[in-house]
Amino acid sequence: MWLQSRKRSPVCDKDELRQKEKEEEHPGNLKLNLQNLKYLKYLGLDNNEFTGPIPDWLGEHQYLQHLGLTENIFFASIPSSLGNVTSLNQLTVSSNLLSGNLPNTIGQLFNLRRLYIEGSLSGVLSEKHISKLFNLESILLNSDFAFNLDPNWIPPFQFHEISLRNTILGPTIPKWLNTQRTLDTLDISYSEISSINADKFLELCIQYWNNSLVPRCN
């Protein structure tokens, strides 16, 4: 009689095992099977109940152009690996439980046209974050960000839309806003501005008039 040998259990990669343990701890985590969809160009995961950290492996999707993670329960910080997805032209990471600052690697997304981030993030944004985003047209940073920019800094982009609600933009309106000749939407509510240069503000009003948006200048 032949003795039947035991079947060996498949060898499991340690990193994969750790990832599976995390998924068991947080059952709403993004699963590893999405990691294998290497040719994705559009990934919309908005308005779901995903939880846990935003996975580092999203940075491996080199063809991804749109990434939407809004209205979930992601926590921890935005992974620096997202800076590797240089094909991205839209990134929306709003209404989660994220914390910390934006990683400097966001500044590598030179194809980015729309950046929408709001919620519980905080930190200091510098030219490293945005000085190479040549194609940026629309930015929404409605969170507790402060700015460390040279007063004479001239952005390499022209915005159509700027929303910096709840940021620490003040005490005065920054000079670089006056370089935005195509701007048609500006929201700087609750941004700790306490004084306005009348001449510069009038110049902004004239620009908005030319772009078919008339603010109240009185």
Is there a domain that residue 182 lies in?
no
Domain interval for residue 14: 1-89+106-116+129-139
How many domains does the chain fold into? Answer: 1
Q: How far is CA 28 from CA 23, 25, 72, 85, 116, in A?
A: 7, 9, 10, 24, 23
Is there a domain that residue 178 lies in?
no
Cite the beta strand spans of the chain per DSSP E.
42-44, 51-53, 66-68, 73-76, 90-94, 97-98, 114-126, 138-148, 161-163, 185-187
Is there a domain that residue 149 lies in?
no
Return the SS3 of 57.
helix
Is there a domain that residue 194 lies in?
no
Is there a domain that residue 121 lies in?
no
- pTM, two decimal places: 0.78
Return the SS3 of 123.
strand
Is there a domain that residue 29 lies in?
yes
Is there a domain that residue 124 lies in?
no
Is there a domain that residue 193 lies in?
no
Structure tokens at 81: 């690996």
d(CA 101, CA 105): 11
The one-digit pLDDT tens for each residue of the chain (218 residues) are 434 333 444 444 545 544 454 445 545 677 767 888 999 999 999 999 999 999 999 999 999 999 999 999 999 999 999 999 999 999 999 999 999 999 999 999 999 999 999 988 999 999 999 999 999 999 999 999 999 999 899 999 999 999 999 999 989 888 898 889 899 999 999 999 987 665 555 565 656 556 555 444 44
Single-letter amino acid code for the residue at 186: L
